[in-house]
Chains A and B, each alone.
Chain A
Amino acid sequence: MTIKKICKEQPEHFELTEKNIEKAKKIITNYPEGKQQSAVMALLYLAQSQNENWIPLAAMKYIGKFLNIPYIKVYEVATFYSMYNLSPVGKNFIQVCTTTPCMIRGAYKIVDACKEKISNNENELLEGKNCSWVEVECLGACVNGPMMQINNDYFEDLDKEKTLKILDQILKGNSPKPGSYRGRTNSEPEKNRKTLLDTKNA
């Protein structure tokens, strides 16, 4: 993991949308009286999804005030976890899994595709592309490797060509279909199921 860099150009102002404030309030009720500050992680995630996949300092301040905890505590949490982005990553944030199972199945070819279509380096936001990519550790879809995650969706069973096509779509502003790109349902075996043939809903 590289050191998380805090973006130098920060928006001055941040506020959760009304819808998100409602969500935040609901999240806070999940925690017992006096432990509301535990909601900090969920709130950071809310802020991140609202703000094109990254958390500006203004948002941390906002959450600090929202939960009545010192700014530094929010800052500590935000810098600790790798899934909080502290500088802009674009509207389409691409995470390519390069852990062993995916790597064996050719994850680095996907990385190559990303380099070709998006940028030569990780975490690099190019002008006009509104998109960046990063190598990450296991995303837990090893059966369907190699794979990548774009925002909240998994794109599985990829190879270089398929990746290039997906990225083309993404860059054009379309939203390609998530899931397996070799025609599988979830992580079932290719072509047909081999076990549990009698059970309908398995």
Chain B
Amino acid sequence: MLKLKVNNKDIEIEEGLTVLQACEKAGVEIPRFCYHEKLSIAGNCRMCLVEIEKSPKPVASCAMPATEGMNIKTNTSFVEKSRKGVMEFLLANHPLDCPVCDQGGECDLQDQSLFYGVDKSRYKENKRAVAEKNMGPLIKTQMTRCIHCTRCIRFATEIAGVPELGAIGRGENMEITTYLEKSMESELSANVVDLCPVGALTSKPYVFEARPWELKKTESIDVMDAIGSNIRVDTYGWEVKRILPRINEDINEEWISDKTRYACDGLLNQRLDTPLIKYNNKFDKASWNEVNNIIKAKIKETSSDKICGLTGDLTNMETLFIFKEFFNKCLNSKNLESRNDDVYLNPEKRENYLFNSHINGIEESDFIFLIGSNPRYEATILNARIRKAYLKNKTKIVSSNNVGDLTYHYDFLKGKTGDIKEIVEDKHPLSNIIKLSKKPLIILGQSVLSSNSGRYIFESIKYFLKKNGKINNEWNSLNIISENASTVGSFDLGIFQNNNVSNQVLSNLKNQKYELVFLLGRDNLKFKKKNEFIIYQGSHGDKGAEIADIILPGSAYTEQNGYFTNLEGKLQKAYKASYPPGEAREDWKIINDLAEVVNNKKLFNNREELESSLINYLNLMYEKNNSTKETDVKDLVFENENIIINNIDYYYSNSIARASKTMFKCRNEKTKLESTGTEG
């Protein structure tokens, strides 16, 4: 511990901190532009100057290590004068266009010049002007406003792992640009908009939409992937204007993926706002009463084993829970399924479908083995963590396949299931590496679990890890990457059927065994409609609504409160920021009313009742979660085949993203890059 003084107040800090951090510990705020906690130190904006006793010149506190006995002063006239000087230089070339700048109201430069700057300019010369740069469909540039803090460059190189941004030229002619102005090839690119302390990099889809003080801010949870990033939803009236990250060190740190941030304009397009009935291949508007009665009649004439329910990727847990209750109590049916394809699932224990080492745990790991997964597209934020571990600890990373650029270096195997078999049978060099590492991380993707030997691979890897003590109370090295927001929640609620085949409902559906199909926000289903009567409930007119006979307009994730369980098994609540359009209603209410029509009795009297029974159910399930049943590995079918990693259409993975114009542009940009081959 170091003892030092900040503004004559004695404090004690750990070693290895900078003067700026020491000041923060003492509760003194230091203005800064280039310094950012998560990025390396640049020390080029000079805004954080402080006075240190015995130092004749002011010191840049962000780059100065704190040492024993320092006497730091931040409130002297000397410091004030230095700050004013720095501010004057920064503003010399900064345009005075705050009224037309999107950053206005949340601009560090604006705020700090108010507190620390001078009120007049002495600069009479011509200001410099810099040409705008193209950085793709998400980032709008106004480079004249740039103060060269290089936060964006450091973010791109360090966190995103795509060293495409740089500073060209020097002195007054310095400019920030991407290499030859091509757009940034990262799924985290838009975080530079948040990092930019001025209005040089602003959000292109949000350009001139609203001022920050006009927006209603709601803290919520993202559903674009299974990470459950913490977000803030900014709304103006009904419209969701933008989505920003919230800091959660355990999950997304400060970053969110581009899809999380920009798919929100999909909430305005393609919306289902009234109940619809299909007559002669045309949808007609109907009232809630009409559709409910038709559904009731259909249910009455169909035997319960001919009814099935398929739940979607973005459905919250309350809706899943009430849907299950509806099927069990009102329809006497257990034909419920949440999986898209034949993914192997062993529901005996919760750890069988969770990311057990936790996202935080990635940083502690000393060996990472990816099996049949491309985390860059399946879980972007998680991939950023792996990169962090790679940079910080030089963690060795091996993948079963060559999956292209993951933003870090990894070795890859031949992409055969045979490799895995060898590892499990101690015949592969990797077996020893796994055994010798203290905290290995074995990550299984959905692709490998849905292969023919998915069951063998999962169970044998688990057996292998257990045998070698890599699954214990302190560290569970078995990790599954779920792809969708409601995957883990559905498994927790038991929405799956494992009988003879791994996905019973789906295979029955493909064999036309059902007459009545209820799709609850299920859009990613590969299935050809024959004579089934299909009810679709959801927010967007997408693939599910296309094949439906009756459409019940529901709400999107920003329009209702709802729990989501992320891939680590963390239960988080998303809050209502807006309201559903037209006659669309909250999803749980639709089911509840339908239950009333069908059974003359509501399932739950109000939301509180639903929520408390959901939580009760979950708590019971968590408690019961101690099954010791072991699967015998020997009997399992093994097939030597190629591990094929599903090609994820990253920007088009769910109904909201598909309705989003911004995602469409991103997707175009990406395919353009791939086809011209200019990237390599």
Q: Distance (Å) between the CB of B611 and the closest chain A CB?
A: 50
Residues on the A chain within 8 Å of B171, using CB = 1
Sorting the interface of chain A by its residue count into under 10, 10 to 19, 20 to 34 or 35 or more gives 10 to 19
Residues on the A chain within 8 Å of B163, using CB = 70, 72-73
Selected interface stretch from B173-181, B217-225, B570-578, B585-593:
B173-181
User: Considering the complex of A and B, which 7 residue pairs feature the smallest CB-CB distances, nearest first?
Assistant: A70-B163, A72-B166, A79-B168, A72-B179, A76-B166, A71-B179, A80-B170
Q: In whole angstroms, how far apart are the Cα atoms of A72 and B165 in the complex?
A: 7
Q: In whole angstroms, how far apart are the Cα atoms of A158 and B163 in the complex?
A: 48
Beta-carbon contact of A80 and B179 below 8 Å:
no
Chain A residue with minimal CB distance to B168? A79
Beta-carbon contact of B166 and A80 below 8 Å:
no
The A-contacting residues of B in range 159-195, CB under 8 angstroms, are: 163-171, 173, 178-180
Beta-carbon contact of B167 and A76 below 8 Å:
yes
Q: In whole angstroms, how far apart are the Cα atoms of A73 and B162 in the complex?
A: 12
Residues on the A chain within 8 Å of B166, using CB = 70, 72-73, 75-76
Beta-carbon contact of A4 and B178 below 8 Å:
no
Chain B residue with minimal CB distance to A76? B166
Residues on the A chain within 8 Å of B169, using CB = 3-4, 79-80
Q: In whole angstroms, how far apart are the Cα atoms of A4 and B174 in the complex?
A: 11
A96 within 8 A of B: no
A4, A72, A76, A79 pick with most chain B CB within 10 angstroms: A72
Beta-carbon contact of A3 and B180 below 8 Å:
no
Beta-carbon contact of A76 and B180 below 8 Å:
no
13 A-B pairs within 8 Å (CB atoms) are namely A1-B173, A3-B173, A57-B180, A70-B157, A70-B179, A73-B163, A73-B166, A75-B168, A75-B180, A76-B167, A79-B168, A80-B168, A80-B170
Q: Mark A129-163, 1 if CB is under 8 A from B, else 0.
A: 00000000000000000000000000000000000
Q: Distance (Å) between the CB of A56 and the closest chain B CB?
A: 13
Residues on the A chain within 8 Å of B168, using CB = 75-76, 79-80
Residues on the B chain within 8 Å of A70, using CB = 157, 163-164, 166, 179
B157, B168, B178 pick with most chain A CB within 10 angstroms: B168
Residues on the A chain within 8 Å of B170, using CB = 79-80
The B-contacting residues of A in range 176-194, CB under 8 angstroms, are: none
Residues on the A chain within 8 Å of B164, using CB = 70, 72
Residues on the A chain within 8 Å of B167, using CB = 76
B163, B167, B178, B179 pick with most chain A CB within 10 angstroms: B179
Residues on the A chain within 8 Å of B180, using CB = 57, 75
Chain B residue with minimal CB distance to A69? B163
Chain B residue with minimal CB distance to A72? B166
Beta-carbon contact of B173 and A75 below 8 Å:
no
The A-contacting residues of B in range 139-173, CB under 8 angstroms, are: 157, 163-171, 173
Q: In whole angstroms, how far apart are the Cα atoms of A80 and B173 in the complex?
A: 9
Q: Distance (Å) between the CB of B430 and the closest chain A CB?
A: 26
Residues on the B chain within 8 Å of A79, using CB = 168-170
Q: Mark A49-79, 1 if CB is under 8 A from B, else 0.
A: 0000000010000000000001111011001
Q: In whole angstroms, how far apart are the Cα atoms of A72 and B479 in the complex?
A: 36
Q: In whole angstroms, how far apart are the Cα atoms of A73 and B170 in the complex?
A: 14
Chain A residue with minimal CB distance to B157? A70
Residues on the B chain within 8 Å of A57, using CB = 180
Q: In whole angstroms, how far apart are the Cα atoms of A72 and B152 in the complex?
A: 14
Q: Distance (Å) between the CB of B44 and the closest chain A CB?
A: 14
Q: Distance (Å) between the CB of A77 and the closest chain B CB?
A: 9
Residues on the A chain within 8 Å of B179, using CB = 70-72, 75
Supply 20 further A-B pairs (C-beta < 8 A) apart from A70-B163, A70-B164, A73-B163.
A1-B171, A1-B173, A3-B173, A4-B169, A70-B157, A70-B166, A70-B179, A71-B179, A72-B165, A72-B166, A72-B179, A73-B166, A75-B168, A75-B179, A76-B166, A76-B167, A76-B168, A79-B168, A79-B170, A80-B168
Residues on the B chain within 8 Å of A80, using CB = 168-170
Q: In whole angstroms, how far apart are the Cα atoms of A75 and B180 in the complex?
A: 9
Q: In whole angstroms, how far apart are the Cα atoms of A73 and B165 in the complex?
A: 9
Chain B residue with minimal CB distance to A81? B170
Q: Distance (Å) between the CB of A129 and the closest chain B CB?
A: 28
Residues on the A chain within 8 Å of B165, using CB = 72
Q: Distance (Å) between the CB of B76 and the closest chain A CB?
A: 37
Residues on the B chain within 8 Å of A1, using CB = 171, 173
Q: A79-B168, A80-B168 are in contact. Are A72 and B178 (CB under 8 A)?
A: yes
Q: Distance (Å) between the CB of A84 and the closest chain B CB?
A: 12
Q: In whole angstroms, how far apart are the Cα atoms of A3 and B131 in the complex?
A: 12
Q: Distance (Å) between the CB of B188 and the closest chain A CB?
A: 17
Q: In whole angstroms, how far apart are the Cα atoms of A4 and B168 in the complex?
A: 10
Q: Distance (Å) between the CB of A68 and the closest chain B CB?
A: 11
Chain B residue with minimal CB distance to A70? B163
Chain A residue with minimal CB distance to B164? A72
Chain B residue with minimal CB distance to A65? B680
The B-contacting residues of A in range 18-67, CB under 8 angstroms, are: 57
Chain A residue with minimal CB distance to B180? A57
Q: In whole angstroms, how far apart are the Cα atoms of A70 and B166 in the complex?
A: 10
Q: In whole angstroms, how far apart are the Cα atoms of A75 and B167 in the complex?
A: 9
Q: In whole angstroms, how far apart are the Cα atoms of A1 and B178 in the complex?
A: 23
Q: In whole angstroms, how far apart are the Cα atoms of A4 and B170 in the complex?
A: 10
Q: In whole angstroms, how far apart are the Cα atoms of A50 and B169 in the complex?
A: 23
Q: In whole angstroms, how far apart are the Cα atoms of A187 and B166 in the complex?
A: 43
Q: In whole angstroms, how far apart are the Cα atoms of A57 and B168 in the complex?
A: 14
